[in-house]
Amino acid sequence: MTLNGLRISNNSLTAMKLIGIAAMLADHFNALVNPDYNQILFEIGRIAFPLFALTLGYNLARIPSGKIPKIMLRLLMFGIVATPVYIILGGGLQHWWPLNILFTLSLATTIVYLLSLPTYNRWTVTSRKTALLLFVVVGGLVDYLWLGPALVVVVWRLFSGISAVESTILQVLLSGLFGLLCVMNDSLATLLALPIIYLAIVTCQNIRLPRMKWFFYWFYPGHLVALFLIRTAFY
C-alpha cells in the first residue's frame, strides 16, 4: 500500500490541526505554568508535533512551489514574534535553545522549497546543497532537532506523486522517524497520533470546518502570552 494517492480533505486537516493545538496547549501549560507536573499532560503533548508535521507536509505537497516561500516567511515571522515570551517562560536567555516549533516548521518549509525547484533550473545543484547544509547546521538549533524537519520533508515527498517503490521506502523511513521521536520523547505516546490521523481522515471528510488560515500563526505567540499572564497572576 502506498500513501501518495491518498487524498485528505481540508476538513480532516483542520481537525488534525485543532487536535494538535489542544495537545500543545496542554503540554505547554504543564511544562511552563503548572507547578505540579502532570505526566498525563506530558503524554498528551507528544501527539502535537506529528499532527503539525503531517498537515504541513501534506499542504506543501499540494500547492505550487512558488507559494511555499510565503508560508516559510510567515512561520519565520511568527516564530520571531513568539521568541521573547518563549524565552521568558523557558527561564531566561540561557534557555533560548532549542528555538521554538515555528522555526522547526519554517526550516522544514525552506528545505522543501529548495528541493522542489525544477530539475532543469540552473540552480538545482546549489539549491539541494543549500537544503542539506540548512538541515545539518540549523536542524540542531530547532525544537525536535533534525527529526522535526525530516518528518515534514518525508511527509511532503510521500504525497508528491512519487513511484510505488519510493513511496514504500519513504513509509519505512517514516516509521523509523516515529520510532526515533518515541526515543527522543522517552514516550510511546507519539504513536497515538497515528490513530488520530486515521480517525480524522475517516470521520471528518464531510464535516464542515472553517479553514482558519491564519489561526495557528496567531495562536502560537498568543497562547504563550496567555500562559505568561496566567503564570504571573496565579502562580
pLDDT tens digit sequence for 171-221: 999 999 999 999 999 999 999 999 999 999 999 877 888 877 899 999 999
Contact 24, 44 (CB under 8 A): no
Question: Residue 121: pLDDT above 80?
Answer: no
The answer to whether position 159 is within a domain reads: yes
DSSP string, 130-154: HHHHHHHHHGGGBTTTTHHHHHHHH
Structural domain including 115 reads: 10-234
DSSP letter (8 states) at residue 99: B
Q: How many domains does the chain have?
A: 1
pLDDT recorded at residue 215:
93
The answer to whether position 229 is within a domain reads: yes
Type of residue at 149: P
What does the pLDDT look like over 16-54, one tens digit per residue?
999 999 999 999 999 999 989 999 999 999 999 999 999
The answer to whether position 5 is within a domain reads: no
Give the residue ranges of DSSP H helices in the chain: 10-32, 39-45, 48-61, 68-90, 101-116, 124-138, 147-158, 164-185, 193-203, 215-234
The answer to whether position 1 is within a domain reads: no
